[in-house]
Every structure is written in C-alpha cells, then in structure tokens.
Amino acid sequence: MSKMRDVRMRGFAERADVEEVERFLERSVRPLPAEPVPVGESPGRVLAADVFAEVDIPGFPRAAMDGYAVCGEDTFGASGYDPLSLEVIGEALPGHGFRGKLGTGQAVRVMTGAPVPDGADAVVMAEVCEERDGRVEVSEPVAPRKNVGAVAEDIRRGEVVLRTGRRLRPQDAGVLASLGMAVVSCVRRPRVQLVITGDELLPVGSRPEGCRIVDSNSVMLSALVARDGGEILPFEILPDRVQVIRQALERKEADVVLVSGGSSVGKEDHAPPLVAELGSLDFHGVAMRPSSPAGCGRIDGRIVFLLPGNPVSCLCAYEFFAGPSIRALGGRSRAWPHRRVRVPLVRKIASAIGRTDYVRVVIEDGRAAPVAISGASILSSTVRASGAVIVPRELEGMPEGAEVEVLLYDDELPLGEAS
Amino acid sequence: MSKMRDVRMRGFAERADVEEVERFLERSVRPLPAEPVPVGESPGRVLAADVFAEVDIPGFPRAAMDGYAVCGEDTFGASGYDPLSLEVIGEALPGHGFRGKLGTGQAVRVMTGAPVPDGADAVVMAEVCEERDGRVEVSEPVAPRKNVGAVAEDIRRGEVVLRTGRRLRPQDAGVLASLGMAVVSCVRRPRVQLVITGDELLPVGSRPEGCRIVDSNSVMLSALVARDGGEILPFEILPDRVQVIRQALERKEADVVLVSGGSSVGKEDHAPPLVAELGSLDFHGVAMRPSSPAGCGRIDGRIVFLLPGNPVSCLCAYEFFAGPSIRALGGRSRAWPHRRVRVPLVRKIASAIGRTDYVRVVIEDGRAAPVAISGASILSSTVRASGAVIVPRELEGMPEGAEVEVLLYDDELPLGEAS
C-alpha cells in the first residue's frame, strides 16, 4: 500500500493527465516475443523477423500463356496471310514437363504454368495458333522470352521478401506459401484476462431483473480485444470479494489484465488497493471525462488496466489506454485502428481546461453533431454515434464550425461522406 | 454446352466488359437468409432485422456516482464552511438495494450502479462527504435528479435500438447483452467452397520441387473470404481430372464456389464447360488485365467464380467479382473494404481503350508509382504495392501527374500519408 493512498470513499486527491498515462504506457509496453505461426493462419499477424526467400520463384522457366513453346526466332515473319507451320513434338502441362529438347521448326503444346522445354525460349499464345495433324500453324510472330516467366523473375533466392513488423496481408501469406514455408515467425498475440466484477451482474444471455443488470462489458471488451489482435483467456463474472479478485489478479497466464468494475473509489472497489499490494498501481484517477476513475498498474510484468464499470467509461478507457497497449504488445501500430475524418462541428462542445474529453458525435451531411447525452452509462450513445472527438486538456471546448477530427467507430462509411 | 462455345485452345471470341459482369452480379446476388447468432459472437455480423428493446435501461433509478443517496432539497445551502449533517440509515450496493425508504434528513450510502432508494432523488458524490459515527457531513448541495440514472434514460422499452443491415460494433453487442438478448438475428455468413485444381500444386507447407509449385491461392483466398465475412468449407487440392472437378462443382453445401486454376482456354481447363453443363456459364473471358480468363456462372443457386490460377490474376478477379458478391451475400456493402486515397501519379500508366486495367502502385511521398512488372504471376508485386489503381475501359491510360484513386490493400497507413 506504500505507493498509494487508499482513495476509497474519499475521492482522488489528484488526477493524472491523459498524456502522462499514455507516455508511461509507451515506455512500459514493448512487442511480445515471437512464436512460429502456420502460414495458413498468418494473415493479420505481425512478422517478428525479416523473411528471406529460400528458393527462386519461378524455380523453372514457366509458360505464362496457354499455347505453344517455340524458339521465338522461328516465328519471325509469320502472319495471318502467311502462317508458319511447326511440328508439334509433344506437350508440357503444369506439373508434367516435356522431357525432350526442342529443335528448329518444332513446337511443344504448353499450358499456363507448365515448364517451357529446353530449346524453347517463347510461348506463342493459343489464340493465334491452329493445330492439326501433328503440326501447328502460327499466324503471329513471338519475340524470344515473350510469355515465359524467367527463373527468379518474381522472387530471387536470398532476397528479403517481407520485413519485420509487417502485418501480413492475404497475398503476403500466398507468397510465404509459394516460398515453401510452413511456419513463419510472428509476434505472439497478447493474452488478455478479463476480471469482470460486480454482485449486480448477470451473465450474457440473461434477462435483467430488479436491480441486477447484464454484464455487457465482457462482450464489448472481448470484441475490442479481438479487433486489436489479442486473445481472451477464459473468464467468469466475479463477486465483489477481495479474495476472489486477488486470485484473479494473481493468475499468471495473461500479458494484460482488464479489470471492469470495482475500480473506482467506492467501498467495494477492491481492485486498486490489490494492484498496489501485488505490484504497483502506477496511475489511478485520470483528468478525463468520462472514465476519470480509470487507472493502470503492473503485477509481475502483466499490465493491469482498471476500467470503470460504466459501459461508456469502460469503452473510453479501453480506447485511450488498453487498446493501444494491446496493439503495441502484438507488434501493431498504437494508432486508432479505424479511419478518421475531419469535419466541421454543428454545435459547440463544452469542456474544461485541464481535462481531456471524449465526446461522441454523429456525422450527418458532412458535419459532426455531439450526441446530446449526460452520464457515462449511456451506452446507446456509442451506438448512435459515428465516432468520437477528443477535446484536449488545453482547450475549454470547441466552437461551432470548428474543424474536428472524428475517430470513427468502424470502417463503414459514415453518412454524408462520399463513397 | 448450348450456352457457350468451347473456347479451349481457341481463345475467347469476345470478352465481356467488367461493368457488364458487375451489373450481372448486382442483379444476381441478394443477402442470404437470417440465422440466430449468440450475442457474444455477434460483433462484425450484419443484422437481419431491426432490434427492439424489450426492457428499459436502466430498469431502476441507478446511482451514477459513489456517494450518498439523498433528497436533493435537503442539501440546499450546504458548503465547506457550513456542511450539512445527515443521518446514514443504510447502504445500497450494486445488486443489493436498500430495503427501506429515506426520510427528510436521512442519507443512504450508495455505490455506482446501486439502486437509489425510495425517497431519495439525488446522489451526492463521495468526494464532498465525510462520514463518521452514523452521520455524513455534506459540504456541497446537490440538485434533485443529479447523479441518478433515471429509468429508461438510456433505452426505452419498445424503441428500435439497431436497424437491419447494421454491421455490429463491439458496443452494439454490449447493448444487445444489456437488453437481455441471448441471440440476435443476423444474415447468414456465405459458405465458400474452394475448388483448387492443378497437377502441379503441392499443399501449403511443402517445398517447391522441379516444376511443381506450392498452392498459394488457397491461403490467399481463405484470408480474403474471411475478411469479407465468408466461411471457407473444407477443401483439398484436386487433380486436373474432369470427374473430380465435376464432383466438386456438384457439392451443394456452398453458396459460392471459387474455382482457382483450370478456368482458362487451355486443354486442361475443365471448369468452364462443366459449369455450362451443370448450370449456366454466364461469362467467360473479361476485357481486363490481368484476369482476362476470369468468368462466372451459376449451378443450382450457387454462384461459381472462375479465377485464373496465376496468383495476381486470381487476386484481381477475386477483388473485382467474388469479393463484392461475398460481401453482398453476407449483407455487407459491396464497396472496397479498405481505405482509398487520392494521390497524383509519379509516372504515366499505359492501358488500352476497351480494357479495364488493374495496376499495382506503391505510394511514396504522397504519390503513386506503378510497380514495374510484367506478368500476372508476379505475386510479389502485390506485396510491394500499397494498393491498386483501376484504369477504366474508356481510357487509354493515365498521364503523369493525374490524380488517381488508390484502393489500398490494407488499413495500415501508407508511406507519405500523415497519420
């Protein structure tokens, strides 16, 4: 308890600035170690090391067209009026080469992807050929090397194909497969333990009853963590009891612990003193709205985020602090993961100097309107909103007409923006 | 075979326009029917029906702060110099209400989320209270209704909370959970059958050997289908044999069939005549580069896409035709699923009137440079590129300096663009 004053039922003596907490997290969070990932599961993952090609692609001269492998020089002068006739001495199919060598005046029927036989240096495309009785009439000349994929023209053995930190695209995984890789070294996905506390909470799928409400934060947080590349460990809703919450905080499997509820200054807010006791409570209370009771600390290398139980505060604290950290642990950019747009404000936003505000706005007709609500529990405001505007602590607010940056809540097109 | 001419080893007589194929697919593809989805798995899914609230949220007057439930009027005049003293008659915790009724001069200790007891109409926050010996000194007045979440202030029973077609956000799923829903009606995810053919193909994880190459398209296509909300059915690499491919095309589980390889005009290209025989081959051969051998058809209500085996052509044909259709089947927007940026061209792009070109570009210093490559097999070009520029068929190309729209390959920030 040395590092904190017990704030329960007393309030926060002093709140940290949002930027102070962000700087602390930037210093404290580094990408996790690498793990081998099967190439088929690699799209979306982040490379932990440069990938070098161990083979040439193509590894053999490869027909890039369906047609006839020829010696290009043989076809010079061919035309529709004066087609050239070549002897068809065989066929090369993908995976089944022609085993002989092609001489002057000869052709081998080839399909796209087949190895071009020895002696041939070009493929004349099927559309300008007419085959009959063992011979093919070619009605257009083809230059040497035309329609042949040369060895290593795509990728040369030894070259760096993809660099550390790359978030793998579908086609990147295709290239890794082509290179003959079975696994690839990726940054391990952060494992996230949810600690959902509250005697009032019913599990997802229940009907709210009396003064008991349904746990919605675990559903929302699970989806946010998945979006940010993390993996949710099994969890259950915990009662507001010190011993039970202590056990959850002591579990060692996680890289990140998200405590939802029981994190403020109420009598039953056991998490903050427990974090201080088991590790360090680096911040508790932030000069922001909503989410002022947010906090973070560390226990044995795990980063613990104290997220208020109120759904909007929980979302806000997650997006400010936990989300960027989970992305960074997984090797991704800390930056906002959806698009941002700059639009003018329909109405002014009031804030206060010294406090960072997280304001939900609706974008309509290319302008941002603050969602008129009060209270951090109004989760429906984040459903109605297109995204959020951050009012930094040095501003008292933002006037009507001011151009603001909106952090969009998803990648769907907001109303009023051209497609 | 009535609907097509067999183009094998003869080439395409006439190619369809990209727009013609797109219009056909827009007419032919409608969202799939609904299925119930557990709320916890709903983020990212598309609503198949409006969601009405069956309960009020909050369902009871709810403390929005830790502090003391009071009758607001009782606190008028309280100040730091002249605190007001109230009798603390009990406590209300989240999930555990206070069972009595509060009278004049009385207070009940409450925590955020607790029901506000009868007789109280406001919560005075803990920070301005000092409790001792069964009484609390309040040093600030609180207005009636302050810090109390009124019944239904977030969501009113009967109101429409989310509308058909909404792609559910994390917070949307939170709201559905709060409303006591266990499942929600979503558009079924399209089931996609991959038909990967080629005697030359080795399974992912193999080392390329001789003229055999590794199947990279299945890895790439699986990731693209997942991105677009589809579900890949089990598949295996098929040999270039008519009977085997016929069986694969006749399987009924799929909504969409993606044929990769064997779809052009080569001798071993069995898929196009099979599609014509089993259903209809609506298009085969498109005036585009790459991917001109692409096609599509229908078999018993399944949409079949013929994707060239060349990886870049495969990607291009997927993005033009299959991707938008899979998204539309799942109730999503057909539009390009990543961001687009408008930037000037560093170098001209040559094309031809009457043909749509798909040109890979790298964005550097805020300008787009075409990736200098030839050939549709250069998958590494799609790895180096930031995205693609589409040159429409009515243009001969695009001049240096022209402003072009780049369809970005992912949502990472391209070089040269401000964050």
> What ipTM is given for this predicted complex?
0.92
A171–B112 CB contact, under 8 Å: no
Asked if A187 and B160 touch (Cβ cutoff 8 Å), the reply is no
Q: Which of B211, B310, B335 sits opposite A95 (nearest CB)?
A: B211
Name every chain A residue with its beta carbon within 8 A of the beta carbon of B64. 310, 375-377
Task: Provide the 3-class DSSP secondary structure of residue A98.
Answer: coil
- Which residues in chain A are closer than 8 Å to B412, comparing Cβ atoms? 167, 333
Best B56, B289, B383, B409 residue to mutate vs chain A (most A CBs within 10 Å): B383
Residue of A nearest to B181 (CA): A205
Q: Pick the closest to residue A380 from A205, A194, A220 (CA basis).
A: A220
Inter-chain residue contact B409 with A171, CB threshold 8 Å = yes
> Who's near A386: CB < 8 A, 6+ residues apart?
A361, A362, A363, A368, A406, A408, A409, A414, A415
Q: List phi, psi (to 5°) of A217.
A: -65, -35
B315-357 pLDDT, tens digit per residue, is 999 999 999 999 999 999 999 999 999 999 999 999 999 999 9
Cβ distance of A126 and B9 shorter than 8 Å: yes
Would the CB atoms of B266 and A112 count as touching at under 8 Å? yes
CA–CA min distance B112, chain A (Å): 8
Distance from CA of A30 to the nearest CA of B (A): 19
Give, for all 419 residues of chain A, the pLDDT tens digit: 334 455 665 567 689 999 999 999 999 999 999 999 999 999 999 999 999 999 999 999 999 888 999 999 999 999 999 999 999 999 999 999 999 999 999 999 998 889 999 999 999 999 899 999 999 999 999 999 999 999 999 899 999 999 999 999 999 999 999 999 999 999 999 999 999 999 999 999 999 999 999 999 999 999 999 999 999 999 999 998 999 999 999 999 999 999 998 777 667 789 999 999 999 999 999 999 999 999 999 999 999 999 998 889 999 999 999 999 999 999 999 999 999 999 999 999 999 999 999 999 999 999 999 997 655 557 788 899 999 999 999 999 999 999 999 999 988 754 444 33
8 A C-beta contact, residue B89 and residue B70: no
Which chain B residue lies closest to A136 (C-alpha atoms)?
Answer: B9
Q: Do A379 and B171 touch (CB under 8 A)?
A: yes
Q: Cβ of A178 and B62 within 8 Å?
A: no
In 3D, which of B372, B311, B363, B365 has the Cα closest to residue B339?
B363
List of domains in chain A: 18-32+189-329 (3.40.980.10), 34-57+153-187 (3.90.105.10), 62-149 (2.170.190.11), 340-408 (2.40.340.10)
How far apart CA B84 and CA B140 sit, in angstroms, is 8
Record the tokens describing residue A238, joined without a space: 């915990």
Cross-chain Cβ contact A200/B383 below 8 Å: no
Using a CB-CB cut-off of 8 Å, the residues of chain B touching A215 are 177
Distance from CA of B357 to the nearest CA of A (A): 18
Chain A nearest-CA residue for B209: A59
pTM over 0.80: yes
- Interface mutation vs chain A, best among B99, B139, B192, B211, most A CBs within 10 Å: B211
Tell me how far apart the alpha carbons of residues A115 and A131 are, in angstroms, rounded to a whole number. 20
